[in-house]
Structure 1
Amino acid sequence: MDYPPVLKGAEHAEFARSVLSGLTAAPKTLHARWLYDGVGAKLFEAITKLDHYYPTRTEMAILEANADEIADALGDDVTIVEPGAGEATKVRPLLAALGPRAAGYMPIDIAEEQLLAVADEMAALYPSLAVKGIAADFFRPFSMDKPERAVIFFPGSTVGNMSLADGQALMRSLHEMSGADRFLIGFDLLKDRQTLIDAYDDPAGITAAFKKNVLQRINRELDADFDVPNFAHDVRFNEATSAIEMRLRTDEAVTVTVAGHPIAFEAGEAIHTEDSRKYTLESFADFARGANLSPVKAWTDPQEQFAVMLLSVD
Structure 2
Amino acid sequence: MPLPHAAPWLHAVPLEGYAHDLHAALRQRPRSISPKYFYDDAGSALFERICELPEYYPTRTELALLRSHAAEMAALMGEAVQLIEYGAGALRKVRLLLDALSAPHSFVPVDISGPHLLAACRALQAEHASLAIQPVVADFTRPHDLPARPQRGQRVGFFPGSSIGNFSPDQALEFLRMAAQELRGGALLIGVDLVKDPAVLHAAYNDAQGVTAAFNLNVLARAQRELGAELDPAGFAHSAFYNAPLQRIEMHLQSRGRQQIRLDQRVYEFEDGETLHTEHSHKFSVAGFQTLAARAGFKAGPVWQDAREWFALLWLQAPAA
User: Aligned AA for 2:81?
Assistant: V
- Return the offset for 1:289: 1.8
Residues 163-188 of structure 1: per-residue CA shift (max 9 Å, x gap): 01112212322344455621000110
1:217 partnered with 2:207? no
Which residue identity lines up with residue 135 of structure 1 in the other structure?
V
Number of residues of Structure 1 aligned to a counterpart in Structure 2: 305
- Residue of structure 2 in register with 1:292 after alignment: 297
**Is 1:160–2:162 an aligned residue pair?**
no
CA–CA distance in structure 2, aligned partners of residues 206 and 180 of structure 1:
41
Deviations 1:67-113 (A, max 9, x none): 1111222233321111222232111111222233x332222233444
Letter in 2 for 1:219: Q
**Alpha-carbon deviation of 1:18?**
0.4
**1-side partners of 2:94 and 2:155: how far apart?**
14
Equivalent in the alignment of 1:18:
21
| Cα contact 2:57–2:204 (8 A) shared by 1 | yes
Q: Does 1:91 pair with 2:94?
A: yes
Note if 1:47 corresponds to 2:50. yes
Identity over aligned residues, as a percent? 37
* Preserved CA contact (<8 Å) 1:147 1:179: no
**Aligned-residue offset at 1:146:** 3.6
Moved more, 27-36 or 84-93: 84-93
Q: For each residue in 1:266-296, what CA deviation from the matched residue of structure 2 results, as whole angstroms up to 9, or x when unmatched? A: 2211110100110111111122123222211
Which of residues 254, 265, 274 in structure 1 aligns to 2:259? Answer: 254
The whole-number CA distance in structure 1 between the counterparts of 2:285 and 2:240 is 21
Q: Which 5+ residue runs of structure 2 have no aligned equivalent? A: 1-11
Q: Is the 8 A contact 1:168 1:290 kept in 2?
A: yes
Residues 1:197 and 2:202 aligned together? yes
CA contact (8 A) 1:231 1:249 kept: yes
Contact (CA 8 Å) 1:145, 1:178: kept in 2 or not?
Answer: no
Counterpart of 1:6 in structure 2 is: none
Cα 1:124–1:262 change in 2 (3 A) is closer
2:141 matched to 1:139? yes
Offset at 1:125? 3.6
Between the aligned partners of 1:216 and 1:299, the Cα distance in structure 2 is: 39
1:227 paired residue number: 232
Q: Which consecutive residues of structure 1, in runs of 5 or more, have no partner in the other structure? A: 1-8
Letter in 2 for 1:195: V
> Does structure 1 residue 29 correspond to structure 2 residue 1?
no
Is contact 1:143-1:177 (8 Å) kept? no
Task: Tell me if structure 1 keeps the 8 A contact 2:206–2:213.
Answer: yes
Letter of the aligned partner of 2:247 in structure 1?
Answer: S
Amino acid at match of 1:313: A
Contact 1:147–1:178 (8 Å) recurs in 2: no
Alpha-carbon contact 1:189-1:304 (below 8 Å) kept: yes
1:105 is aligned to: 107
1:19 is paired with a residue whose SS is: helix
Amino acid at match of 1:287: L
Counting only pairs closer than 5 Å after superposition, residues 162-177 of structure 1 correspond to structure 2 as: 162-177=167-182
Pick one of 53, 60, 63 that aligns with 1:60.
Answer: 63
Q: Deviations over 1:250-275 (max 9, x none)?
A: 13122221221111112211110100
Q: TM-score, normalised by structure 2?
A: 0.88
Q: What letter is aligned with 2:44?
A: A
| Separation in structure 1 between the aligned mates of residue 15 and residue 132 of structure 2, nearest angstrom | 34
